[in-house]
Amino acid sequence: MTYLDHAATTPMRPEALAVYTAVLADTGNASSLHASGRRARRVVEESREALAAELGARPSDVVFTAGGTEGDNLALKGLYWARRAADPARRRILVSAVEHRAVLDTVDWLGATQGAQVELLDVDEVGLVHPSTLEAAIARDPAGVAVVSVMWANSEVGTVQPVARLAAVAHRYGVPFHTDAVQAFGQIPVAVGEDGPDAITVSAHKIGGPVGVGALVVRRGLLLEPHTHGGGQERDIRSGTLNTAGVAAFAAAAGVACAQSPVEAGRLAALRDDLVLRVREQVPTAVLNGPPLDRPGGVDPLRRLPGNAHLSFPGCEGDSLLMLLDARGIECSTGSACSAGVARPSHVLLAMGASDHHARGSLRFTLGHTSRAADIDALVEAIGPAAERAGRAALAGTSGV
């Protein structure tokens, strides 16, 4: 198989797998006071310190979760509830129109059941939220804003947001800023910093760690109301028995990914540029979505993730094209894996101004640490015939598979 869906999940790194299996064989609850519990607690706290160092945070800022979706829920619900409890007038939640469903569905729920006033921030044609857009939205009623959330890098088209500038706008009005950095962490520099985001969501399985573990980095002094109650673990923000093996493997994967990212970003960007160029040679009508490749063979961390290539194929249905490629051993996606199987156009592309037809004919190819030139060769060999067959099927009103 040729795997081109690393944004959905990427294979575990050998270093993380070794740590995971070693710790998994040990017995011990990190909340227990006996020797086995103390050993597990030591693993957790050393992992917390290592992860915090990669994120420019204090160890006490790191709250371990079960993954990105829980981290987003915890941040948005926790901040909204805490801020509104302090001032009932704080009902506004500002999020970009191109967020992952983990953010959009969470704020929709807060709007439907918790009295929140949800407002979507417009993006431009490449998916960028301009600081002036955020400033104008906050300025309409600064005292009423509970929280702002804009993802660090888009999970579909790879657009990297100007997070530091956006956070600075929010902070001028005293509003906490959260960012979903699940796609960005390990590919480009991500850190809390003195003037950066107040809360950052990250996930292990996107960087070569195991599925089922992540973290929410919460700046010291920021109050969150917990939505999971129980044993009071993780500063009473997120109760539950800690996944010691998962946490240790997450820290190991983060260490490798962040250490290698300066070189790896250039390697992946070169592969991505080759993919886009050669696919468009095979299918001249194909359109690249998101930021342009204005630095061939390099990477501009202010524009696009290095491993992301999101293309639309006019006249084709994305689902049909995906299945035709899958039959040839090429694995990719039509968008976020969490929305897979849902027959609707990408909300990201629609927010960027694309037509419904354009949005439905799109595929996302994403590269990772196991990607090689042979993967691009395999895609290039398969894409022309697949697109031709998908186009004929669309005209005939069939799937083509």
Q: What is the dihedral of CA 338, 344, 347, 349, to 10 degrees?
A: 110
Clarify whether 332 is annotated catalytic: no
Strands (E), 1-97: 2-3, 62-65, 92-96
Cα–Cα nearest to 363, from 326, 388, 332: 332
Cα–Cα nearest to 91, from 39, 140, 150, 157: 140
CA dihedral sign, ordered 373, 377, 382, 383: positive
Of 258, 316, 332, 338, which residue is the catalytic one? 338
DSSP β-ladder status, 177-180 and 145-149: parallel
DSSP β-ladder status, 330-331 and 92-96: unpaired
3-state secondary structure of 151: coil
Strands (E), 144-198: 145-149, 177-180
Q: From the centroid of its chain, how far is CA 135?
A: 24
Other beta carbons within 10 angstroms of residue 238's beta carbon come to 25
**Alpha helix (H) ranges present in 147-243?**
163-172
Nearest-angstrom CA–CA distance, 374 and 377 = 5
Alpha-carbon separation of residue 355 from 27, 280, 281, 312, 314 (angstroms): 55, 20, 24, 11, 11
* Radius of gyration from C-alpha coordinates of the chain: 21
Catalogue the active-site residues.
Answer: 338
